[in-house]
Structure formats: C-alpha cells, structure tokens
Structure 1
C-alpha cells in the first residue's frame, strides 16, 4: 500500500472554472446562474436546509415549473458541455506516467458537492477510480424522485477514510468504513494522500490531511484576484500546504508541486524499505 498514491479532487472551480450546473442545465431553465443560485439560497434559508440539498431541490422544482423533463441520461449528456482549466484533459495520464517512473501507482478520485450525473458525462470521467458527488435516486423510467447522496463540506472527509481503507462503495452499510482493520498494511498512509480544492468547502478535508501528514493544495482561477485572495488567506491561516493557479499544464506550479510530492513519497518509501531490509 505504500506505493499507492491517492490524489483527491474537488470538481467545480477546481478542475472546471464554473459550477457544473452552469454547463447547460441552468440555460435550459432560461435563467442566469445568479438567478438560479439566488432561488436555491431562498429555499435553503426558508427551510434551514443544507445548501447542497437546496440546490438539488431547486433543480427539480424549477425543472417541473418549466416543463423540463429531467432524466439520468439527460443530466449525463450535459457533461459533454464542460470546459476545463488549461491542461486538465492531459493531466491524469502525464501524472500517472511520472508516478510509474518512481515506482508509484497513482489513483485519482473526485469528491465533489457538484452533480455526479453531469460529471459522469465529462470527457475525463474514466480517469477517476471513483467519483463521489451529489446524486439523485431514479424511478424505473430514469426520472429523479429523491436524493441518493449528498456531499457537503464535512461529509467530504468521509471519503478520505473510505479511500484510505479502500472501502469505496456500500454506502448503506456504515459498518465497513468504521470497522477496525487489523492488517495495517492494507491501509493507505495519510502521507500518500493529496487533496486539491478551491476554497472554504474543502477546508475540513485539507485540515484533516494536514494534521495527519498528508498534503493539500488550494487552486484558484488565474484570471480572478478574488479567488487568489481566498487561496492566499487559507495559506496564511495554515489551512492548506500549497496554493497554485488552476493551470494543469506541464511545468505549471501545480505540476511541479505534485511531482515533488510524488518524489518525496517515493524517497521515503525507499528509505523505509532499506531501514527494514
């Protein structure tokens, strides 16, 4: 397990420059993004509701009011509209190859408050070992009837434990992820885990990994001083190890940070093996 590396990504505003609902869904309601998020906030405040449950409810209610027939397949197709930050589509294979050159097996995961069904239609979906996000439950005709999974700022930490213990599914059974594992060699060390996010909703996950010897990176839209200011504040508050522009091209800052973390893990693994030889 010491040769296994997990890179965990937020999705919206981390790999893509907008919220995922803004790649076609909101347009289908004949609304602007500001109007949609304002409607969601009204629902959330009125019912003292989790903000992610509020946006999921708002998606269904506004679709109903606009006679828009939402289906699983329809949401998935919206993923084809997604635009990425520079270098994202080439990033995964390049990092995998770099890790392989160091004797490491790199795994990529998404832990996002965005709509998972839309992510499933993204061109990079098959680059991830698992994608965790907010998702609906569907009837036999593929129409959403209830919320199946909601991922918010604190529940994101659950998935760090799942990835660490390799308990990647079975959400109904909470016993497995909390079960004591006597074979410690099967558990992924925190030092081999990297979290990449964009802001406040990622802080609990970043802080968890920081406190355990893992690694965290806050990325920001290179065109937005406001986003840089958020990242810089989190860095100054020691909530994140690194900040970098959301530019995933070769030789970018985040490319350098990730590659150096992989080198560090590889060297530490080799030294431990020599120590125990």
Structure 2
C-alpha cells in the first residue's frame, strides 16, 4: 500500500481575505435598496439592543429586511448572489498553483474556509470547488428552499472549533463525540504544525493565536484601508507575516507561502527519518516525540 503523503492545510477567512469586502455587500445588500453602511448599522444596532450574538443578528436582519421589501430569499437566490463576489488578484489560480507546488515536494495541500459570512454565498463564488470543506454561517431551509432557522453561526471565537475538526479529521459539524474523543497526536490527520491560517484582522486573532501557540503559521493580508490594523497585529506578535492582498504568482505572499510549504515538507521528512531510525534500533516512538519539528 502506498504511503499517505503528509497533509498541509490552508485555513482561510473569506471576507477581505480572499474577496475585497463583506460578501453581502456585493449583491444582497444592494438588492434591499440599502447601502452597506446602512445595513450593517441596522444589524449591529439590533444585536446590541437585544444582546444577540452579532452573527445571529446579521442573519436575522437579512431575513427581516428581505421580508419587509417583499424580496425572494431562498438558498438558490443567495448562491446566485455569490456570483458577484470580487476576488483579490491571483486568487482564481492560487489554489492550483499551491497544490502543484506541494505535489513537487511530496505533500498534499488542502484548503478550508472558516468564515463568519454565509456558506450559501460562498458556494456561489467561482472558487467554491477549491475547498475540502466550507465552515461558515448557514441557514436551515424547508422543502421550498426558504430559510426557517439558523443552522450554524460562526462567530469569531467559535472559529477555533473548526481548527480542531481539521486537525482530527472530524469534519462533520454534527459529530461532537468523535471531536472530543481522546486521540494520540500521531494519529491526528493534520498536525497543527502543518497548518497555515490566513485572515485580515481582529476577527481572526483567536485562530491566529492557535497557530502561533501550536507551531503553525499565521498570515494576515491587507488592503490600504486596514494596513495599520494588520501592522499592529504583527507588532504585537499576533501574526507571523503580513502582506498586501495580492495572491499573484511571484508576489511576496506567494513566495513566502511556498517557503512555508517547503519548511513543513522538510520537517515531515525529518520526522519520518527519525521514526525509522528509532524503529531500526527497536525503540518506541513516544507521544512527546510527535511534532518535534
């Protein structure tokens, strides 16, 4: 049986990380006859007044405003609105390039979304097929595709649970038992040391801190408008690298990510060589030897 290639997982926020603004701003909010500033002020104010989680507050506001304007609000309609998403330069072919680079180094690269935005809108984007799993806020729909209840709400701190799911390979959000079962480090599908989290700001800090604490890498991308905030993350040691949001081949972001993949691939190779030597002398591979590199 062929040996399983080491897996390197890229975990992305979506809004302002892969696309230029909040995903609702492109088509959904204009369809309400509102500006993004008006919609978000309404959603955030509603949440504060009623002490509602911010993600649930914006999901409810989407439903309420669509009903007030007597506009269609179905799953298919939301997916269709995702087609208007504008991606940063280089994002369209980023995944293929990074996958191919990983293959040349003998590793398997996977991509995941962990977003507080809506899964339905992300699914309408041109890159939705690139992800092994999309973790994002989502509605539950009836047989006519009409939302009747929040299915999943991904707020900023809740994002971290999905990092653990990817680590253990327990991707089904309804499977909490397996997620919480004890699992030896050397049997976890994607070691934290083989993870790269990419985000754009404070909402990503919990996941970025996990990466830095457990040996992964955290990258923040910026547009000119949020450059100062991202530079502050770097100065305070909350992120490893910052780059302009340009994913094109040959950019600093592209080059550094390839160096990270190379480093992770070499670490996996060294670990495997160490294991083989221990086995060759009749030694055991101890749990605390896993993830040394």
The alignment's TM-score, normalised by the length of structure 1, stands at: 0.96
Q: Which has the larger radius of gyration?
A: 2
Gapped regions of structure 2 (runs ≥ 5): 277-293
Q: Cα offset for 1:182?
A: 4.2
Match of 1:177 in 2: 179
- CA contact 1:112–1:156 (8 Å) conserved in 2: yes
Cα displacement string for residues 173-210 of structure 1 (whole angstroms, at most 9, x for unaligned residues): 32111111247334321110000000001000000110
Q: Among 29, 33, 37, which residue is 2:36 paired with?
A: 33
Match of 1:250 in 2: 249
Q: Cα offset for 1:83?
A: 0.8
Asked if 1:5 is matched to 2:8, the reply is yes
Q: Cα offset for 1:257?
A: 1.5
Cα displacement string for residues 132-154 of structure 1 (whole angstroms, at most 9, x for unaligned residues): 10100111111011100000110
CA distance in 2, matches of 1:276, 1:184: 11
Match of 1:220 in 2: 222
Match of 2:266 in 1: 267
Match of 1:236 in 2: 235
Q: Among 10, 13, 18, which residue is 1:15 paired with?
A: 18
- CA contact 1:2–1:188 (8 Å) conserved in 2: no
Match of 1:68 in 2: 71
Match of 1:104 in 2: 107
CA distance in 2, matches of 1:28, 1:99: 41
Evaluate the alpha carbon distance shift between residue 66 and residue 179 of structure 1 in structure 2; reply closer, same or farther with a 3 A threshold.
same
Q: Cα offset for 1:276?
A: 2.9
CA distance in 2, matches of 1:203, 1:20: 20
CA distance in 1, matches of 2:256, 2:180: 32
- CA contact 1:3–1:103 (8 Å) conserved in 2: yes
Aligned residues between the structures:
273
Asked if 1:143 is matched to 2:146, the reply is yes
Cα displacement string for residues 35-90 of structure 1 (whole angstroms, at most 9, x for unaligned residues): 00011011111111111111101000000000012000010011111110000001
Match of 1:201 in 2: 203
- CA contact 1:2–1:269 (8 Å) conserved in 2: no
**What is the SS of the residue equivalent to 1:167?**
coil
Counterpart mapping for 1:149-160 below 5 A: 149-160=152-163
Match of 1:132 in 2: 135
Asked if 1:79 is matched to 2:82, the reply is yes
Q: Please say which of residues 74-83 and 267-276 is displaced more in the overlay.
A: 267-276
CA distance in 2, matches of 1:127, 1:203: 24
Superposed CA RMSD in Å reads 1.2
Cα displacement string for residues 210-238 of structure 1 (whole angstroms, at most 9, x for unaligned residues): 001110001101xx2x3110110000010
- CA contact 2:5–2:106 (8 Å) conserved in 1: no
Gapped regions of structure 1 (runs ≥ 5): none
The alignment's TM-score, normalised by the length of structure 2, stands at: 0.91
